[in-house]
Structure 1
Amino acid sequence: MIVWLNGTHGAGKTTTAALVQSLLPDSRVLDAEQVGGVLMSITPGLPETDNFQHWPPWRPLVVETARQVLHYAGGTLVMPMTVLVEEYWREISSGLAGYGIPIRHFVLHAETPVLHDRIMNDEVMGPSRFRLAYLKPYEDAARTWLHRDAEVIDTTAVSPQRVAQQIADSVLRAGCANASDRVI
């Protein structure tokens, strides 16, 4: 199965993913951003875009990469990746469902001022206009479809350890470490 951690930049997806992986038996982290990195490395380059998710090959490559990793290694994939375009999420989730791969979709949410502060004071990546630019699209997605389609976990004032434990408990409580109660 896949435990997908969605939410915008600064919500804590990457940190939480590593912690969730340590709490779920036979799990591993697959960062779909690396698929985008592969596409970005193609030379000569693909058409100009501000986000590799807009390249049509990215979405089926994420599906196929996840499918192949699960086929090879089994277990659970924890996938931290922001997907704010509903059409893209539908393409990915229906592609995985078409292979019979269950998904637990979580959105890590934090209030906008907290996200802004986290992005501007990020000690690893530093301040980022690119990451800040996704605050409004996140708000729009959260209001229109994203929060409706996932289990929302507020990370505003909660430690990453508690967020990870909440996710792991939800997955394990539902008996979803190997099967999902909700295929999206």
Structure 2
Amino acid sequence: MIVWINGTHGVGKTTTSALVQRLLPDSRVFDAEKVGETLMDITPGLPATDNFQHWPPWRPLVVETARQVLAYTGGTLVMPMTVLVERYWLEISAGLAGHGIPVRHFVLHADRATLRGRIEAEHRIPSPFRLRHLEPYAEAARTWLHAAAEVVDTTHLTPGEAAERIAAAVSSR
């Protein structure tokens, strides 16, 4: 199975995923961003974009890589990855379903002020990239994302508490 941990940049997906992995037996973290990084390394390069998810090969490569890893290792993949474009999520989730891979889709959420505070506290100079994604995340949350996932509001939770909630939800089914 795949436990997909979605949410905006800076909400704590990577930290929470590592903690979820420790709580779920026979699980491992697979960060789909590595697939994007591989595509970015292709030279002379793919068309210019501000987000590797816009490259059509990224989505099927994520599906196929996850499928291959699961076929080799079994168990559970914990995948921290922001996906804010509904069409991209539908493509990925349909691809995984087509291979018979069950997905539990979680969204880590925090209110805008908390997210901004976390992003600003993370580095001496706040990440413009992360700040730019606050509004696209809010729009996705309003229009489709929260309806397509199990929402874990982390506004008043530690990453450990969020991980415990996700692991408990996964283990209860």
Q: Is the TM-score greater than 0.5?
A: yes
Residue 130 in structure 1 maps to residue 124 in structure 2: no
In structure 2, what is the Cα distance between the partners aligned to 1:65 and 1:13? Answer: 20
What TM-score results when the alignment is normalised by the length of structure 1?
0.92
Change (3 A) 1:132 1:98: same
Structure 1: which 5+ residue stretches go unaligned? 175-184
Q: Secondary structure at the match of 1:28?
A: strand
Does the residue aligned with 2:122 lie in a helix, a strand or coil? coil
The residue correspondences of 1:100-179 to structure 2 (distance < 5 A) are: 100-123=100-123, 127-174=126-173
Change (3 A) 1:126 1:31: farther
**Hey, which bits of structure 1, 4+ residues long, moved more than 6 A?**
none
1:79 is paired with a residue whose SS is strand
Between the aligned partners of 1:54 and 1:35, the Cα distance in structure 2 is 13
Q: Secondary structure at the match of 1:25?
A: coil
| Distance of 1:52 and 1:60 partners within structure 2 | 13
Asked whether the 8 Å contact 1:119–1:126 carries over to 2, the reply is: no
2:18 aligned residue: 18
Aligned equivalents of 1:59, 1:25: Cα separation in 2: 27
Local SS of the residue matching 2:49: coil
- Which secondary structure does the structure 2 equivalent of 1:77 belong to? strand
* 1:99 Cα deviation from its structure 2 partner: 0.1
Aligned residues: 173
Question: What CA distance in whole angstroms lies between the structure 2 residues aligned with 1:126 and 1:25?
Answer: 38
2:126 partner amino acid: P
**Structure 2: which 5+ runs fail to align?**
none
**1:91 is aligned to 2:128:** no
Identical amino acids, percent of aligned pairs: 71
